[in-house]
Structure 1
Amino acid sequence: MTTPFDRLPAVPALTVTSTDVADGGDFATPQYSAIFGVPGGEDRSPQVAWTGVPDGAKSFVVSLYDPEAPTPSGFWHWMVVDLPAETAKLETGIADLPAGAWVVKNDARVAAFIGSAPPAGAVDHYALSVQALDVAGVGELGIDSESTPAFVSFAILPHVIARGVITAVGRG
């Protein structure tokens, strides 16, 4: 399966896993969106862990992006930045991020995880990604709380030293 990162410059691979969704597997009900009215949805972020971090990693960005959302630009559901270099996982529904880490406002302009909500009958493939950066924080790149996930992605691109992605499936 292709990912939205396939057309970007190649970098070494991180191994990304989740206890909530297997690569190519369906999201569990809690990872669907209550905000968008999906029955049983809880907008609960999935657990995500990563290994294979290269020397020189100073921080991480974790995100969930749906390139198949019914918009010309896809839909950013979640982006956590400034995760310290010693971080190796985020728990399900994480409420307390490591010191210094923060959530970028998603495409609904909410600084939180918004779960899957594809239209009725649709099957969307979501890129749950972890990117290792050679900078300690995105503030060094001009990123602030009003930056969009797309802008963050653009700004970090030259600083990504490793990346891992698993694909999760959401069904409408």
Structure 2
Amino acid sequence: MMIALFGGSGLVVAGEFTLSSTTIAEGERLRRAQLYSGPDCGGENISPQLSWRGAPEGTRSYALVMHDPDAPKEGGWWHWIVFNIPAGVTDLPEGAGELKAGLIPEATQSRTDFGSPGYGGACPPEGHGDHRYQFKVYALNIEQLPLGDNSSVAEVIALINSSKLAEATLEAKFGR
């Protein structure tokens, strides 16, 4: 798999920067554990285990998001946003999106479209068909994004995009 890197001179083709999971599989349906825990979706709101490999030289930190581009909201729905993951961390355990668990103390989990930080599972509108849930990890050229847990999605994504060296995606689906 070829991965695009973003550098000062534009797009560069590089080796493999990959994102994988022992919890979810590429193109498969999300399990009940990864669904939102509200009454409509009846899930457990547990973030999946995620691992990434092959980051480019110069990676100083990582950011990770979960996004539903098929949500009936302009720009889609942001389910999980994590940044300031140290460059030496290449795995997040299942449940890392639960703030009280403290599984990634070095990182910042910021506000999602649910209105608060932390993982918010899949919960597409009923009868809306399958939605794509894209987990993306970004290799960044800076150690820290100068943002906090109450930062807006737009602020975080803008800084991720301006600092990314590479990105890798794992996509699952779910519909009701």
User: For the superposition of Structure 1 and Structure 2, which TM-score range results when normalised by the shorter chain?
Assistant: 0.7 to 0.9
Shift of residue 71 of structure 1?
A: 1.1
Q: Secondary structure at the match of 1:138?
A: coil
Q: Which stretches in structure 1 are left out of the alignment for 5+ residues?
A: none
* Aligned match for 2:137, one of 127, 130, 135: 130
- Cα deviation code 1:49-95 (max 9, x no counterpart): 00001111110001100011111221100011100000011011123
Verify the 8 A CA contact 1:135 1:159 in the aligned structure 2. yes
Runs of 4+ in 1 over 3 A off after TM superposition: 9-13
Identity %: 30
Are positions 1:149 and 2:128 aligned together?
no
Verify the 8 A CA contact 2:108 2:148 in the aligned structure 1. no
Q: Which stretches in structure 2 are left out of the alignment for 5+ residues?
A: 5-9
Partner of 2:126: 120
Verify the 8 A CA contact 1:58 1:134 in the aligned structure 2. yes
Verify the 8 A CA contact 2:63 2:160 in the aligned structure 1. no
Look up the equivalent residue of 2:60 and give its one-letter code.
K
Partner of 1:107: 113
* Aligned match for 1:59, one of 47, 58, 61: 61
* Aligned match for 1:98, one of 91, 99, 104: 104
CA distance in 1, matches of 2:40, 2:46: 14
CA distance in 2, matches of 1:157, 1:115: 24
Partner of 1:34: 37
TM-score (norm 1): 0.87
CA distance in 1, matches of 2:25, 2:111: 26
TM-score (norm 2): 0.85
CA distance in 1, matches of 2:39, 2:139: 31
Are positions 1:44 and 2:46 aligned together?
yes
Verify the 8 A CA contact 2:62 2:137 in the aligned structure 1. yes
Alpha carbons of 1:43 and 1:10: their partners in 2 closer, same or farther (altered >3 Å)?
farther
Are positions 1:77 and 2:79 aligned together?
yes
- Cα deviation code 1:111-152 (max 9, x no counterpart): 11010001113210011010010100101xxx2333212321
Shift of residue 10 of structure 1?
A: 4.6
Q: State the aligned residue count.
A: 161
* Aligned match for 2:22, one of 19, 23, 27: 19
